[in-house]
Amino acid sequence: MSRLAIKLPGLSMKNPIMPASGCFGFGREFARYYDLSRLGAIAIKATTEESRFGNPTPRVAETPGGMLNAIGLQNPGLKKVLSEELPFLADYDVPILANIAGTKTEDYVKVAEDVSKAPNVTALELNISCPNVKEGGISFGTDPEIAAALTRAVKDVSEVPVYVKLSPNVSDITKIAVAVEEAGADGLSMINTLLGMRIDLKSEKPVIANRTGGLSGPAIKPVAIRMIYEVSQRVSIPIIGMGGITSADDVLEYFLAGASAVAVGTANFVNPFICPEIVDELEQKLIDKKVDHISELIGRSWKSCYSPSLSH
Amino acid sequence: MSRLAIKLPGLSMKNPIMPASGCFGFGREFARYYDLSRLGAIAIKATTEESRFGNPTPRVAETPGGMLNAIGLQNPGLKKVLSEELPFLADYDVPILANIAGTKTEDYVKVAEDVSKAPNVTALELNISCPNVKEGGISFGTDPEIAAALTRAVKDVSEVPVYVKLSPNVSDITKIAVAVEEAGADGLSMINTLLGMRIDLKSEKPVIANRTGGLSGPAIKPVAIRMIYEVSQRVSIPIIGMGGITSADDVLEYFLAGASAVAVGTANFVNPFICPEIVDELEQKLIDKKVDHISELIGRSWKSCYSPSLSH
Amino acid sequence: MIKEWTTILHQEQIADKIYELTFEGELVERMTAPGQFLHIRVGEQYMPLLRRPISICDVDLEQKQCTILYRSEGEGTRLLSKKRVGDSLDILGPLGNGFPLDALQEGETALLIGGGIGVPPLYYLSRKLVERNIRVKHVLGFASKKDAFYIDRFNQLGETTVTTIDGTLGYQGFVTDYVLKENPEYDVLYTCGPTPMMKAIEEQLNPARAYYSFEERMGCGIGACFACVCPVKEDPTGTEYRKVCSDGPVFPQGVIQL
Amino acid sequence: MIKEWTTILHQEQIADKIYELTFEGELVERMTAPGQFLHIRVGEQYMPLLRRPISICDVDLEQKQCTILYRSEGEGTRLLSKKRVGDSLDILGPLGNGFPLDALQEGETALLIGGGIGVPPLYYLSRKLVERNIRVKHVLGFASKKDAFYIDRFNQLGETTVTTIDGTLGYQGFVTDYVLKENPEYDVLYTCGPTPMMKAIEEQLNPARAYYSFEERMGCGIGACFACVCPVKEDPTGTEYRKVCSDGPVFPQGVIQL
Ligand SMILES: Cc1cc2nc3c(=O)[nH]c(=O)nc-3n(C[C@H](O)[C@H](O)[C@H](O)COP(=O)(O)OP(=O)(O)OC[C@H]3O[C@@H](n4cnc5c(N)ncnc54)[C@H](O)[C@@H]3O)c2cc1C
Ligand SMILES: Cc1cc2nc3c(=O)[nH]c(=O)nc-3n(C[C@H](O)[C@H](O)[C@H](O)COP(=O)(O)OP(=O)(O)OC[C@H]3O[C@@H](n4cnc5c(N)ncnc54)[C@H](O)[C@@H]3O)c2cc1C
Ligand SMILES: Cc1cc2nc3c(=O)[nH]c(=O)nc-3n(C[C@H](O)[C@H](O)[C@H](O)COP(=O)(O)O)c2cc1C
Ligand SMILES: Cc1cc2nc3c(=O)[nH]c(=O)nc-3n(C[C@H](O)[C@H](O)[C@H](O)COP(=O)(O)O)c2cc1C
Ligand code: FES
Ligand code: FES
């Protein structure tokens, strides 16, 4: 078996690298630049029941070492995703992690039920954290009980394994993680964006029309690493790590922290070829480090130490 | 009156710029490079009842656009701060905001009582990000009731106004802010560091000996701005803003978000002259913008808009 | 689209805050459509993080050289202006869809209206139109004399009128003031500039056939992130949109809500 | 201490990953104590954020020129190695306390032991000692021949022995192996290098009088942030410390727990 191949619930991946949801559309644009079959998996853009236009523009703003976005879950809606986007991706030999969103439990259930039946969707990613949508997300992701209830409802209808994507905007992320694990989650995705804002000095108003946005990019990496380090010691389901990954070294750091696969988001905007480049670089790094298989690295930063009584 | 002078509870400042606690020691080092009387105020290093050595080294690590620290509240203890550090600062014409820390309510009360009597301490800054040993190590800053109780206890003994320094590692910072305001806080300091981690690829262990550290610097600025924007609309006490300030433009952004003064932390390490440089630059910016007084800018990003029903 | 490390051959300030930069690279070979843009990475260290969209201003296909003009305004363009001859520049491009050249027949007349830093893409457009034996007229609006650039070059391609708001150069007033007053004849109008200018063109000049080049804050520049969407005009569903980066930046009259 | 934009006069790779950089600036006038260091800002954009501490290797007070040697290892030193002659370099310094020169009388002998990238500060030290008519002996340890540098220069100042771990140059083994075996005479020992080396010197050579130059991760470099503290040796209270940046980086034998 290749050094890089990773098998997680629903995701049999050639390598542990996937583009993060919302940063890769439904793959069409990138398919023009490289063969999508080179990816470990693809997390597609959040799908909601109805098509959504999203928020007014400006929707992005730059910050030191990062960016804010408030796209507002723009997507063509469940029907079109099933009839157009997923069939397009079926031409590639790559498992699809379908990110689903909604504002009510029933929305999630409906989308989960239908999307999980698509032949190339091998796992769902439950977006309980998207901070951008009015009335949306936030409460699902910040309360362990609500998060668990949603997980259970989706697990009940899904025909494929379910990953819950956690929000970092919480006092204690381990509580949410443990709650959704108990509710049947097959894996976790960590982390979604941090809530942030920038104010324009000329207009004296928030740069982003929606005012607040989600902070992503290298700036948030230390927060993600810390959360994965903590959560991976408390749960036994695998974690897809993300937040500011731009290099194979970053991937190694995520594995050492406790991730079993990673997603690359914002970096795709800076370099559209970043995912396959990281795959190649990663293989070489493992050869240089004499690591036979990348799974050996999972959680190594804490596995060899004393037991997990974390001090802050 | 000067364009820059700001009067807050306990703090009559020539200008709204102060060095942030922990990033300026007790001023001795910087006093060699410039006249400390040029500062609006000085937030001194956290003082605890007993002297503390702090954490083992390495205590700092660099991150994209930021840094992690886990100094561990190293300080010479209450007695020496009163007998040596504060008298040294008394030679300068600058109000002192004394940052106090502890692990039990009684610790805080003891330090608050004694430090607030020092002649040049004109306000206290309650560092509630510390772990609360009695409540099982959760930080005083993550539970509104515990934060409020601590605020009340300290207010009872303090002879000067009390600013509560909020932790950003919470699900809803407005709840904590409102709770401590109700408990009698005279002002807020926002924000303390975000919890983060970096892992060294060679040792495969966290870079920082304490494992986790506090993330500061430009990377966290969008999180701080967002929190101040939200909190300033919910409370009527003033906010000292901080997090990644490196320029006069950053100061303007904090004022527009809702801060009434600012503190500069990490940037002092990159440029020890940053505080007086920002003071000069800020004066010029206001002249260019034809702003008669900096207080006009406080909260302007939301004051002119519709009323505060925030969406996330 | 290609991502390439190109080499800077020339960098010069040509007006107040306006720089002219020429680089060399294989990707220039693909720059055959005026109105396309480049997505330029100005910092190596993810600070600034995002690329900057800048229009193609002129191309020498044989020498594989491309010229851009940009205004040094914020942090990214300031850093770009610090680059020196011989430095490498990471460019993604060409991106988007340019101005249609076949909208006109030989002998017809194109009116090109540019405003400020919207002027650059019109230069390559004008050259391409002239190559096709189309008559070009230019109306170039600037705030003031100190902001004006490339006037001689446009003059060499066709009749060129400059307007400045403060009257320090050419006609005093907005480009639309001039066009309304002088009423130049044309078959197709092409424009690029600030939104208020383009809005005035649409409303006041109400051209029969026109193409507008839009600006919007971008993330990816290639159509994947949905940062740069614009609602389409008169859409009853409220969900129709175009992406400036990949559907545009040039759109025909009436597609996008100005 | 001064903060100054200095100008790079020279930048050259002199061994595997090792660079020699010379700059010019007013702050050089203050560099009279060997063993002090500079705090160098390698990025303009807060990425990397922190300055890098680098020792002073040589100084020309009259020309106001200073030379540093550094190993390009991580991101910051890699960026430093990309700077070109004529570029400006933001430097804070000189910082810390250097090696005491008056620990020796004229005619006495100093033994200078350097390991790897700890060698540079010993060069200026040696020059200053020689100026005071003190005999100097150097033992310079490297991993391998490809890592060695400045050997001729040290040779010009005094007896110089090179040791390499793999034996590709000079004596094969650690610096301590050589000193234990050859037992060179000396009055005061000065050393800078990796902690294991300095620990072996303290334990195995057990010098009567010695000065050690320490390394620790730094924040401010000026004594304000408490990033670089070291516990003092045999402290019963457990709270005594020294700051490497402002109390050090050089400490006499026995002060700091190695
Ligand atoms: C298709 C297109 C073509 C363009 N062609 C040119 C050109 O030829 N010459 C030229 O000088 N400018 C051009 N612009 C505008 C140019 O992209 C911005 O001036 C530039 O991005 C500002 O970057 P900054 O670093 O100076 O500003 P900053 O304020 O540091 O920028 C912060 C962020 O906002 C974005 N941004 C700021 N202003 C604009 C803007 N007006 N449009 C889009 N994004 C913006 C930046 O790209 C960046 O992501 C074009 C824009 C678009 C969309
Ligand atoms: C007093 C003193 C004098 C020094 N003199 C020299 C010299 O003359 N030549 C030379 O090549 N090196 C010297 N060093 C070591 C040098 O500071 C580090 O090699 C350098 O900081 C590494 O930066 P980087 O960007 O390559 O590594 P990165 O890994 O990117 O550094 C990340 C962070 O860790 C810090 N760091 C990493 N390694 C070290 C280290 N060994 N010591 C202290 N901080 C470190 C960096 O300063 C930075 O803050 C000295 C260190 C000290 C404390
Ligand atoms: C423009 C943009 C759009 C995003 N849209 C989604 C989304 O639809 N669903 C989701 O779960 N996460 C979304 N995210 C979050 C990313 O998937 C990812 O969790 C986050 O950006 C951190 O990774 P990064 O730092 O590599 O970008 C989006 C991020 C960005 C930048
Ligand atoms: C090295 C270091 C030490 C700090 N020590 C303290 C402290 O003792 N008490 C406290 O309330 N905050 C402390 N802080 C937090 C800062 O006061 C400030 O809230 C934070 O760093 C954000 O500001 P900045 O980004 O400008 O650094 C410390 C920060 C740093 C970097
Ligand atoms: S900029 Fe990403 S879709 Fe247009
Ligand atoms: S580096 Fe800040 S005290 Fe030494």
Tell me which DSSP letter residue A303 carries: H
Average pLDDT over all residues of chain D: 95
Ranges of chain A whose pLDDT falls below 70: 1, 130-139, 305-312
Q: Which amino acid is at B266?
A: T
Q: Which amino acid is at A220?
A: I
Q: Whole-angstrom Cα distance, residue B43 to residue B189?
A: 11
Q: Whole-angstrom Cα distance, residue D107 to residue D136?
A: 10
In three state form, how does the secondary structure of chain C look? Answer: CEEEEEEEEEEEEEECCEEEEEEECHHHHHCCCCCCEEEEECCCCCCCCCCEEEECCEEECCCCEEEEEEECCCHHHHHHHHCCCCCEEEEEEEECECCCCCCCCCCCEEEEEEEHHHCHHHHHHHHHHHHCCCEEEEEEEECCHHHCCCHHHHHHHCEEEEEECCCCCCEECCHHHHHHHHCCCCCEEEEECCHHHHHHHHHHHCCCCEEEECCCCCCCCCCCCCCCEEEECCCCCCCCEEECCCCCEEEECCCECC
Q: Whole-angstrom Cα distance, residue B112 to residue D181?
A: 61
Sheet with C210-213, side-by-side order of all strands? C171-172, C159-164, C135-142, C109-115, C188-192, C210-213, C250-252
Binned at pLDDT 50, 70 and 90, residue D229 comes out as: very high
pLDDT at D240: 87
Would you call D183 an interface residue with chain A, using a CB distance cutoff of 8 Å?
no
> What percentage of chain B carries pLDDT values higher than 90?
91
Would you call D47 an interface residue with chain A, using a CB distance cutoff of 8 Å?
yes
Q: Please write the tens of the pLDDT for every residue from C111-168.
A: 999 999 999 999 999 999 999 999 999 999 999 999 999 999 999 999 999 999 999 9
Q: Please write the tens of the pLDDT for every residue from C171-215.
A: 999 999 999 999 999 999 999 999 999 999 999 999 999 999 999
Tell me which DSSP letter residue D60 carries: E
Chains linked to D by 3 or more Cβ pairs within 8 Å: A, B, C
Q: What is the ipTM of this complex?
A: 0.96
Q: Please write the tens of the pLDDT for every residue from D168-188.
A: 999 999 999 999 999 999 999
pLDDT at B1: 57
Question: Is the Cα dihedral D51, D52, D55, D59 positive or negative?
Answer: negative
Q: Please write the tens of the pLDDT for every residue from C71-126.
A: 999 999 999 999 999 999 999 999 999 999 999 999 999 999 999 999 999 999 99
Q: Are A266 and A60 in contact (CB under 8 A)?
A: no
pLDDT at D43 over 60: yes
- Using CB atoms, pick whichever of B171, B215, B249 lies closest to residue A171: B171
C46·D47 Cβ contact <8 A: yes
Mean pLDDT of C17-33: 97
Q: Are B167 and B139 in contact (CB under 8 A)?
A: yes
* DSSP secondary structure, A41-62, as one string: -EEEEEE-SS-B--PPSP-EEE
pLDDT at B10: 97
Residues with a CB atom less than 6 Å from ligand 2: B 62; D 37, 50, 52-55, 68-71, 73-77, 117, 120, 215-218, 249
Tokens 């998060």 label which residue?
Answer: A147
Q: CA angle, D217 as apex, D211 and D218 as ends, to 5°?
A: 95
Q: Whole-angstrom Cα distance, residue C121 to residue C117?
A: 9
Would you call B32 an interface residue with chain D, using a CB distance cutoff of 8 Å?
yes
Q: Ligand 2 centroid vs D52 CA: distance in angstroms?
A: 6
Q: Which residues of C touch D50 (CB under 8 A)?
A: none
pLDDT at B310: 42
Percentages (nearest 5) of helix, strand, coil residues in chain A: 35, 20, 45
* DSSP secondary structure, D138-182, as one string: EEEEESSGGG---HHHHHHHSEEEEEETTSSSSEES-HHHHHHHH
Q: Please write the tens of the pLDDT for every residue from B61-73.
A: 999 999 999 999 9
Q: Ligand 1 centroid vs C177 CA: distance in angstroms?
A: 27
pLDDT at B19: 98
Is D106 exposed, middle or buried, given 0-12, 13-18 or 19+ CB atoms closer than 10 A?
A: exposed
Q: Are D36 and D94 in contact (CB under 8 A)?
A: yes
Range of weakest confidence among A230-244, C18-32, D233-247: D233-247
Q: Please write the tens of the pLDDT for every residue from B52-104.
A: 889 999 999 999 999 999 999 999 999 999 999 999 999 999 999 999 999 99
Q: CA angle, A227 as apex, A225 and A230 as ends, to 5°?
A: 110
Q: Which amino acid is at D24?
A: E
Nearest CA to ligand 3 atom 7: A22
**Partners of C177 in beta bridges:** none
Distance in Å, alpha carbon of B154 to nearest chain A alpha carbon: 23
pLDDT at C169 over 70: yes
Q: Are C99 and C213 in contact (CB under 8 A)?
A: yes
Three-class secondary structure of residue D96 per DSSP:
coil
- φ, ψ for residue C222, nearest 5 deg: -125, 5
Would you call A61 an interface residue with chain C, using a CB distance cutoff of 8 Å?
yes
Q: Which amino acid is at B20?
A: A
Count of Cβ atoms closer than 10 Å to residue C240 Cβ: 16
Q: Are C211 and A263 in contact (CB under 8 A)?
A: no
Q: What is the distance of C-alpha A263 from the center of its chain?
A: 6
Q: Ligand 2 centroid vs D54 CA: distance in angstroms?
A: 7
Q: Which residues of D touch A65 (CB under 8 A)?
A: 46-47
Q: Whole-angstrom Cα distance, residue A131 to residue A141?
A: 9
Tell me which DSSP letter residue B20 carries: P
Strands A11-13 and A239-242: unpaired
Percentages (nearest 5) of helix, strand, coil residues in chain D: 20, 35, 40
Containing A20, the helix (H) or strand (E) segment is none
pLDDT at B244: 98
**Partners of C37 in beta bridges:** C55, C95
Short-list D26, D29, D32, D33, CA closest to D4: D26
Residue C138 Cα distances to C50, C143, C180, angstroms: 33, 17, 14
Q: CA angle, D93 as apex, D89 and D96 as ends, to 5°?
A: 145
Binned at pLDDT 50, 70 and 90, residue C257 comes out as: confident
Count of Cβ atoms closer than 10 Å to residue C127 Cβ: 17
Q: Is C53 in the pocket of ligand 1 (CB under 6 A)?
A: yes
pLDDT at D255: 92
Tokens of C79: 């850093």
Q: Whole-angstrom Cα distance, residue B162 to residue B150?
A: 11
Q: Please write the tens of the pLDDT for every residue from D46-55.
A: 999 999 999 9
Q: Please write the tens of the pLDDT for every residue from B25-47.
A: 999 999 999 999 999 999 999 99
Q: Which residues of B touch A311 (CB under 8 A)?
A: 131, 137, 210-212
Give the A:B interface size as CB pairs under 8 Å.
Answer: 156
Q: Are B74 and B128 in contact (CB under 8 A)?
A: no
Q: Please write the tens of the pLDDT for every residue from A151-180.
A: 999 999 999 999 999 999 999 999 999 999
Q: Whole-angstrom Cα distance, residue D206 to residue D208?
A: 7
pLDDT at A138: 57
Q: Are A71 and A136 in contact (CB under 8 A)?
A: no
Q: Please write the tens of the pLDDT for every residue from B213-263.
A: 999 999 999 999 999 999 999 999 999 999 999 999 999 999 999 999 999
- Is the peptide bond between B19 and the residue preceding it cis, with omega within 30 degrees of 0? no
pLDDT at B312 over 90: no
Short-list B202, B198, B210, B194, CA closest to B266: B194
Binned at pLDDT 50, 70 and 90, residue D236 comes out as: confident
Binned at pLDDT 50, 70 and 90, residue B135 comes out as: low
pLDDT at A312: 38
Distance in Å, alpha carbon of C247 to nearest chain D alpha carbon: 34
> What percentage of chain C carries pLDDT values higher than 70?
100
Average pLDDT over all residues of chain C: 95
Question: What would you report as the CA-atom Rg of chain D, rounded to the nearest whole angstrom?
Answer: 18
Is B220 exposed, middle or buried, given 0-12, 13-18 or 19+ CB atoms closer than 10 A?
A: buried
Q: Whole-angstrom Cα distance, residue A244 to residue A222?
A: 9
Query: Which among A140, A216, A240, A275 is the best mutation to test ligand 3's pocket, defined by most ligand atoms within 8 Å of the CB?
Result: A216
pLDDT at D258: 82
Q: What's the length of chain A? A: 312
B210·A142 Cβ contact <8 A: no
Q: Ligand 3 centroid vs C215 CA: distance in angstroms?
A: 24
C49·A62 Cβ contact <8 A: yes
pLDDT at B132: 67
B305 has catalytic annotation: no
Contacts of B288 (CB under 8 A, 6+ apart): none
pLDDT at A132: 39
Q: Are A79 and A279 in contact (CB under 8 A)?
A: no
Q: Whole-angstrom Cα distance, residue C186 to residue D146?
A: 72
